[in-house]
Amino acid sequence: MPLGQRAGDKSDSRFSGVEVLDFPAGECLPAVLSHSLSSGFDFLLAPLVDPAYRPTPGAVLPVAASDLVLGPSQWSSHIVGKLSEWIDLDAEDEQLRLDSELTLKQEVAWASHLSLQACVLPTPRRSSCGNYARVVNQILQGLTNMQLWLRLPLEKSEPMDGDHDKVKNSDHMTEMDDSWELWNSFRLLCEHSSQLCVALDISSTLPSMNSLGRWFGEPVRVAILQTNAFLTNARGYPCLSKRHQKLMTGFFNHSVQTGCSQVMKATMKKMDPLPEQERFEINYRDFLQSPLQPLMDNLEAQTYETFEKDIVKYTQYRRAVAKALVDRVPDDSVSTTKTVLMVVGAGRGPLVKASLQAAEETGRKLKVYAVEKNPNAVITLHSLVKLEGWESVVTIISSDMRCWNAPEKADILVSELLGSFGDNELSPECLDGAQRFLKPDGISIPSSYTSFIQPITASKLHNDIKAHKDIAHFETSYVVKLHRIAPLSPPQPVFTFNHPNYTPNASNQRYTKLQFDMPPDMGSCLVHGFAGYFDSVLYKDVHLGIEPSTATPNMFSWFPIFFPLRKPIYVPLGSPIEAHFWRCCAPTKVWYEWAVTTPSQSPIHNSNGRSHWVGL
Amino acid sequence: MPLGQRAGDKSDSRFSGVEVLDFPAGECLPAVLSHSLSSGFDFLLAPLVDPAYRPTPGAVLPVAASDLVLGPSQWSSHIVGKLSEWIDLDAEDEQLRLDSELTLKQEVAWASHLSLQACVLPTPRRSSCGNYARVVNQILQGLTNMQLWLRLPLEKSEPMDGDHDKVKNSDHMTEMDDSWELWNSFRLLCEHSSQLCVALDISSTLPSMNSLGRWFGEPVRVAILQTNAFLTNARGYPCLSKRHQKLMTGFFNHSVQTGCSQVMKATMKKMDPLPEQERFEINYRDFLQSPLQPLMDNLEAQTYETFEKDIVKYTQYRRAVAKALVDRVPDDSVSTTKTVLMVVGAGRGPLVKASLQAAEETGRKLKVYAVEKNPNAVITLHSLVKLEGWESVVTIISSDMRCWNAPEKADILVSELLGSFGDNELSPECLDGAQRFLKPDGISIPSSYTSFIQPITASKLHNDIKAHKDIAHFETSYVVKLHRIAPLSPPQPVFTFNHPNYTPNASNQRYTKLQFDMPPDMGSCLVHGFAGYFDSVLYKDVHLGIEPSTATPNMFSWFPIFFPLRKPIYVPLGSPIEAHFWRCCAPTKVWYEWAVTTPSQSPIHNSNGRSHWVGL
């Protein structure tokens, strides 16, 4: 359940809160809460313990309000605990360190008792915070539901109390001026705990968009607008700069809640409702699915149903077939030439339909073979042909295209065997098999396809995979609607397949080494894995695909693919990422292996397809 | 079973072999082997397949000799296979890559068929060898017993076929000139496979000793002396330079076998036999033991027996007690003063004996209380007192020192509660408890102890821990006789405890952050964990300890301790290592947590003592 209780869509980013700066002792808290709720806010970020308190043997913790002052659901839905800001676990002073440890543990225990959903950890006072991380990590081991949000400035404006000089690493200063570095170091020490999140303080100045963008792949739970982040507009009301508005929209789109640093009724711009397609996809956001095994498994009716609804995709196929028909049959031969078109993997018939539409459009005569290996789909195909009256045009073949003995050769071979990563559903192997019954000058639609990858930050995906506690899940590729991720460098092509392919001894094994460069103003980053896409040339200039820069609009048949890394790789400012992708083939299976070699070496993932493979 | 069959001690480094440079086809191999054995060598490094062969469909692999030419035990004890050197898995030419992959797999399959113990992989031809590593990694997944030794020059003399220019990382060139970098990158890609080892080519020039030293922590299986590594002495015989001799002695001491690059009867200097202590310790080399839990468990007679044999240790105690007695009782008070000395943790009595000897030596009168919690040891103590006629001097107390109600207070408290890491067997907690019955001006022997750590390369220890396939074993500290390790930086002090300790609210929690700098001529390195030691001041200038630079000679009661890292950390040339060690205390247990924050962040190990702790 997200914080706040307003009606709305399923996104938890529509809620906003207010930070209480003073200490609302005793009966004061309900009043502050009630005022804030009536001002349109959803939750309070409030101190839980008197900031003047220091641990004293035998003393009772001076809490802001007894647990009876608010009801249990009020505590849990409307209060985020703010832990004492004097806490300094990496102080030189040993007594202050020990007091800080005791107080932090006591306050978190109190917050747990109140069933709060989250507490905000004070901003680290130093760039080196090993002891702070150790104490937080100990607390995290014992927490069941509550989250801890580490509060960090989006941009570090003031120098931290410094132990900079103790570290000799030359570019350490620059790195540590970037609060993302602090976050990264903290969460690595805490083993990527899924309950450790971020609360970002937004002030008047903002770093570059590339630097900001990294946070979209991190578990940022709230963006806290400081008073100085607001400008005053012509009428004297507070407003946000264009860049701040853009940032807040970005956070909104990545499901981050907002808060203000003091009681000020900020008029948050009303966001547009989600478009139809996104509403459909919202339940799939960052949800990891295993890719289909269409060769080994027969698809279910439900799956056909979903894919057949993708009008955009079949429009592209219709356009491609039409162009191929026109190229193949000159206008003056239309009445004398019949084109043999074979749909391999016809499913329940959408490509047959698209092809016949193309023939009608262009006035070309068609003889269609619809080859399908799933006997259940074949039943539907027969009904369709009968229903549409295509008996004289369409021949249905219930067979695997790789072993069908075709009675004649085809002019055009049409297929839709592509996966999110292009060749990952074994289109190359299937079409190699079908190529036997294509005429030497015949056309394959698609005529080629290329996979793409790009490195991304995706802490949520990493944590979801880590929850399985095994290596196999980190060596599997997933189909996933990417949402809370940060792309780090533009996608690059990986493997290309062309059809038909008459190269002798052609192999479908592939190896590609890629180098990704990061924008120079982005800062360092953490790579959790690679997002994968494809683009396919159906015929000449008709393509379809999901590679972001050229993606076919409004097509929903494919989500991206995600190749995780067993251990996320830190990429220091200025370093490229060198990645290796292999497509390996054995007699009964095909699989990918992948590895990173720069800036540091990952193990080679999925050796021999031990964790994940696609069956032939 | 090590390669070769000579009688000798248990070290496998006494064996040496010869590399066969030409292709010994057919019946030639037995002749070469027999000649080499009679020349005093133990094994041959020989090509298995005709180097002129390239994969041809239907061709039979042109092997050097059929498996019938040598007997099974000859193949396995005397032949190391040399895989074809033309193999180039990272060539630009795709066909060459595919041929290389096929041949490598065929040759290894043939070597497995022959039950060879090892094959030597050809030296990588390029600094970037991702595809080579991928193929080797695939092979390693399926190997049961055979090892693969990656052949590398100790120092790279000639530039490799280069794709240097493709990598932008500024200091990449320098790093890649160091063959250790190539090894490190290769083994990281292959997940530290325990069957992937190193064969080092030694030529005329050698890098610095610090650079060489790193290899002592790596799985180097053979050092191959190239012809140009030999000098010619005054009599015209081949000999080795002083530096080469020192290196070979180092390899010998780290159980690395030797080989020569061609058939040349090198007179290897006869090594001295192992001294007594090392002979005793040889079975413990790199064998990981869990530290004792002397508070929770009672030691066995066997354990007491072993420790009591450590004459050096008790001599130091005798000297310390003697000095304390002389300080405490002036010569003119000798006849009137009786010193109350309590041995806390008396065991079977060695410290009682040492104390009484000290009293006799110095002519001081003693009243001894021997406090021991283990009732079995108390039985032995009673026999000892009777046997030695100490009844009037020694009172035996069967009790835990932490709860004994002493009838009087002690002048001197003597204990030996130290573990390999000083405080790790809870000496601080025990002595805090015993301090109640020490006079305000009383003396504790030991009066202080300090733990030390240093980062080390220890690939064998890493692999042994990894074999457990869990995190807990990587979060445990081990007592271990370190052998195949490379220390990377001198040890530094971690925690110090002083006794007696009258500081109010004194805590036995500790936190220390350490920075280790590496010798500038060492190159980059990989840290598998930290070796730990202790030094203890017994009294004034009498100390005992195992910290290498000040270790008490010929004392064998303590092996070092080892704190592993879950994932080894790569330390680039010039970067320091920043490590954090915590000693944490709860009512019933004490544990360590540790982490590295520079050059990169490890997780915090053993949070809340979840994997390893010492019970109070």
pLDDT digits (tens, 9 = 90+) for A319-330: 999 999 999 999
Element (H, E) at A539: strand A525-539
Pair A398, A468 in one domain: no
Pair A402, A480 in one domain: no
pLDDT, tens only, B126-153: 888 999 999 999 999 999 889 999 999 9
Pair A412, A460 in one domain: no
- Tell me how close the Cα of A502 comes to any Cα of chain B, in angstroms: 17
- 3-state SS of A200-248 is EEECCCCCCHHHHHHHHHCCEEEEEECHHHEEECCCCCEEECHHHHHHH
Q: Is residue A31 part of a domain?
A: yes
DSSP string, A19-50: E--S--TTTHHHHHHHHHHHTT--EEEEE-B-
Identified catalytic residue from B175, B425, B547, B593: B425
pLDDT of residue A412 exceeding 90, the answer is yes
Q: Does A336 touch chain B (CB under 8 A)?
A: no
* B360 in catalytic set: no
Domain's final residue, options B240, B266, B292: B266
Pair A226, A189 in one domain: yes
Q: Which of A168, A190, A597 sits opposite B576 (nearest CB)?
A: A168
For residue A3, what pLDDT band results from cuts at 50, 70 and 90? low
CATH number of the domain that A235 lies in?
A: 3.20.20.150
Q: Is residue A442 part of a domain?
A: no
Q: Do A134 and B607 touch (CB under 8 A)?
A: yes
Q: Does A167 touch chain B (CB under 8 A)?
A: yes
pLDDT of residue B588 exceeding 90, the answer is yes
CB A55 within 8 A of CB A101: no
CB A296 within 8 A of CB A615: yes
Q: Is residue A596 part of a domain?
A: yes
For residue B26, what pLDDT band results from cuts at 50, 70 and 90? low
Give the residue, A343 or A267, on which the prediction is more confident. Answer: A343
Which pLDDT score is estimated for B373?
93
For residue B234, what pLDDT band results from cuts at 50, 70 and 90? confident
- What six digits make up the tokens of A304? 């056909």
For residue B425, what pLDDT band results from cuts at 50, 70 and 90? very high
pLDDT of residue B159 exceeding 70, the answer is no
**Which residue does chain A place closest to B192, by CA atoms?**
A603
Q: Is residue B440 part of a domain?
A: no
* SS3 call for A267: coil
State the helix-helix crossing angle for A130-142 and A94-113, rounded to 10 degrees.
Answer: 30
Give the residue, B24 or A304, on which the prediction is more confident. Answer: A304
- In order of A201, A211, A212, the CA distances from A206 in angstroms are 11, 9, 8
Distance in angstroms between the alpha carbons of the first and the last residue of chain B: 43
pLDDT of residue A170 exceeding 50, the answer is no
What gap in Å lies between CA B55 and CA B58, rounded to an integer? 9
pLDDT of residue B38 exceeding 90, the answer is no
CATH number of the domain that A488 lies in?
A: 2.70.160.11
Q: Which residues contact A602 (CB under 8 A, 6 or more apart)?
A: A565, A566, A567, A569, A595, A596, B188, B189
Weakest-pLDDT range from A13-27, A130-144, B243-257, B438-452: A13-27
CB A401 within 8 A of CB A436: no
- Tell me how close the Cα of A196 comes to any Cα of chain B, in angstroms: 14
Which pLDDT score is estimated for B175?
44
* SS3 call for B472: helix
CB A495 within 8 A of CB A583: yes
Q: Residue A173: which region, alpha, beta or left (left: phi > 0; alpha: psi -120 to 50)?
A: alpha
As a whole number, mean pLDDT of residues B487-511 equals: 94
Q: Which of B130, B141, B167 sits opposite A610 (nearest CB)?
A: B141
Interface test with B, best of A592, A604, A613 (most B CBs within 10 A): A604
Q: Does B489 touch chain A (CB under 8 A)?
A: no
- In order of A389, A462, A545, B160, the CA distances from A191 in angstroms are 63, 11, 37, 39
- Tell me how close the Cα of B138 comes to any Cα of chain A, in angstroms: 6
What gap in Å lies between CA A278 and CA A270, rounded to an integer? 18
Percent above pLDDT 90 for chain B: 68
Which pLDDT score is estimated for B88?
96
As a whole number, mean pLDDT of residues B150-162 equals: 68
Question: Position B558: which residue type?
Answer: W
Weakest-pLDDT range from A434-438, B154-158, B178-182: B154-158
Q: Is residue A87 part of a domain?
A: yes
Which pLDDT score is estimated for B439?
97
Pair B188, B98 in one domain: yes
Q: Is cis: bond before B500, omega within 30 of 0?
A: yes
- What six digits make up the tokens of B356? 């009484």
Strands B118-121 and B147-153: parallel
Q: Do A189 and B595 touch (CB under 8 A)?
A: yes
Residue A246 marked in a binding site: no
Which pLDDT score is estimated for B549?
97
pLDDT of residue B411 exceeding 90, the answer is yes
Give the residue, A92 or A293, on which the prediction is more confident. Answer: A92
Q: Do B567 and A570 touch (CB under 8 A)?
A: no
Q: Do A138 and B607 touch (CB under 8 A)?
A: yes
Which pLDDT score is estimated for A330?
95
What gap in Å lies between CA B608 and CA B591, rounded to an integer? 8
CB A605 within 8 A of CB A529: no
Place of tokens 């931290």: A160
What gap in Å lies between CA A393 and CA A369, rounded to an integer? 8
Which pLDDT score is estimated for B273?
57
pLDDT of residue B165 exceeding 70, the answer is no
Pair A267, A337 in one domain: no
- What six digits make up the tokens of B239? 């000999």
Listed by number, the residues of chain A in 298-317 with a beta carbon closer than 8 Å to a beta carbon of chain B are none
pLDDT of residue A263 exceeding 50, the answer is no
Residue A533 marked in a binding site: no
Which pLDDT score is estimated for A158?
46
What gap in Å lies between CA B482 and CA B288, rounded to an integer? 9
- Tell me how close the Cα of A103 comes to any Cα of chain B, in angstroms: 16
What gap in Å lies between CA A551 and CA B344, rounded to an integer? 78
Give the residue, B155 or B103, on which the prediction is more confident. Answer: B103
Pair B256, B310 in one domain: no
* SS3 call for B11: coil
What gap in Å lies between CA A127 and CA B597, rounded to an integer? 11
Percent above pLDDT 70 for chain B: 91
List CB contacts (< 8 A) between B188 and chain A: 600-603
- Tell me how close the Cα of B573 comes to any Cα of chain A, in angstroms: 11
pLDDT of residue A275 exceeding 80, the answer is no
Which pLDDT score is estimated for A442?
97
Q: Which of A131, A189, A507 sits opposite B603 (nearest CB)?
A: A189
Interface test with A, best of B600, B606, B610 (most A CBs within 10 A): B600
List CB contacts (< 8 A) between A604 and chain B: 133-134, 137, 189-191
pLDDT of residue B1 exceeding 50, the answer is no
What gap in Å lies between CA B616 and CA B293, rounded to an integer? 9
Domain's final residue, options B244, B266, B288: B266
What gap in Å lies between CA B369 and CA B295, rounded to an integer? 20
pLDDT, tens only, B557-579: 999 999 999 999 999 999 999 99
User: How many domains does chain B divide into?
Assistant: 3
- In order of A319, A489, B251, B514, B524, the CA distances from B212 in angstroms are 67, 39, 10, 25, 12
pLDDT of residue A224 exceeding 70, the answer is yes
Q: Is residue B596 part of a domain?
A: yes
Q: Do A166 and B515 touch (CB under 8 A)?
A: yes
Q: Do A128 and B604 touch (CB under 8 A)?
A: no
Q: Which residues contact A327 (CB under 8 A, 6 or more apart)?
A: A443
DSSP string, B520-562: TTS--EEEEEEEEEEEEEEETTEEEE--GGGPPTT--S---EE
Residue A539 marked in a binding site: no
Residue B369 marked in a binding site: no
pLDDT of residue A334 exceeding 80, the answer is yes
Pair A143, A203 in one domain: yes
State the helix-helix crossing angle for B375-388 and B350-362, rounded to 10 degrees.
Answer: 30
Pair A487, A535 in one domain: yes
For residue B269, what pLDDT band results from cuts at 50, 70 and 90? very low
For residue B382, what pLDDT band results from cuts at 50, 70 and 90? very high
Pair A116, A152 in one domain: yes
Q: Which of B134, B608, B610 sits opposite A593 (nearest CB)?
A: B134
- What six digits make up the tokens of A146? 């509550």
Identified catalytic residue from B19, B175, B416, B429: B416
CB B544 within 8 A of CB B320: no
Which pLDDT score is estimated for A276?
67
Q: Which of B141, B191, B604 sits opposite A137 (nearest CB)?
A: B604
Buried b (16+ CB within 10 A) or exposed e, A16-47: bbbbbeebbeeebbeebbeebbeeebbbbbbb
Count CB neighbours of B377 within 10 A: 21
What gap in Å lies between CA A348 and CA A300, rounded to an integer? 11
* HSE-up of residue B420 (Cα within 13 Å, Cβ side): 24
The β-bridge partners of A478 are A562
Give the residue, A225 or B101, on which the prediction is more confident. Answer: B101
Q: Is residue B470 part of a domain?
A: yes
pLDDT, tens only, A243-262: 898 888 888 888 787 776 55
Listed by number, the residues of chain A in 173-232 with a beta carbon closer than 8 Å to a beta carbon of chain B are 184-185, 188-191
Q: Do B597 and A189 touch (CB under 8 A)?
A: yes
Domain's final residue, options A364, A397, A416: A416
Which pLDDT score is estimated for A9?
45
pLDDT of residue B261 exceeding 60, the answer is no
Which pLDDT score is estimated for A303?
86
List CB contacts (< 8 A) between B191 and chain A: 603-604
Pair B232, B370 in one domain: no
Which pLDDT score is estimated for B276?
67
Q: Do A600 and B575 touch (CB under 8 A)?
A: no
List CB contacts (< 8 A) between B515 and chain A: 166-168
What gap in Å lies between CA B178 and CA B156, rounded to an integer? 7
Most confident of A425-434, B164-173, B267-276: A425-434
pLDDT of residue B267 exceeding 90, the answer is no
Count CB neighbours of B586 within 10 A: 11
Measure the CA angle with vertex B16, ends B12 and B21; round to 5°: 140
Place of tokens 């966001």: A271
As a whole number, mean pLDDT of residues B596-614 equals: 96
* SS3 call for B306: helix
Q: Does A582 touch chain B (CB under 8 A)?
A: yes
Most confident of A60-69, B189-198, B273-282: B189-198
pLDDT, tens only, B364-373: 999 999 999 9
Give the residue, B64 or A502, on which the prediction is more confident. Answer: A502
Q: Does A152 touch chain B (CB under 8 A)?
A: no
pLDDT, tens only, B459-472: 999 999 999 999 99
Cβ burial, residue B1 (10 Å; 0-12/13-18/19+): exposed
ipTM confidence score: 0.87
Q: Which of B167, B580, B608 sits opposite A138 (nearest CB)?
A: B608
Listed by number, the residues of chain A in 490-509 with a beta carbon closer than 8 Å to a beta carbon of chain B are 507, 509
Residue B183: closest CA among B133, B146, B142: B133
- What six digits make up the tokens of B66? 């059929």
**Which residue numbers of A are catalytic?**
416, 425
Q: Does B609 touch chain A (CB under 8 A)?
A: no
List CB contacts (< 8 A) between B610 and chain A: 141
pLDDT of residue A163 exceeding 80, the answer is no
A-B CB pairs within 8 A amount to 120
pLDDT, tens only, A539-574: 999 999 999 999 999 999 999 999 999 999 999 999
Domain that includes residue B343, residue range: 301-416
Q: Is residue B239 part of a domain?
A: yes
Pair A389, A475 in one domain: no
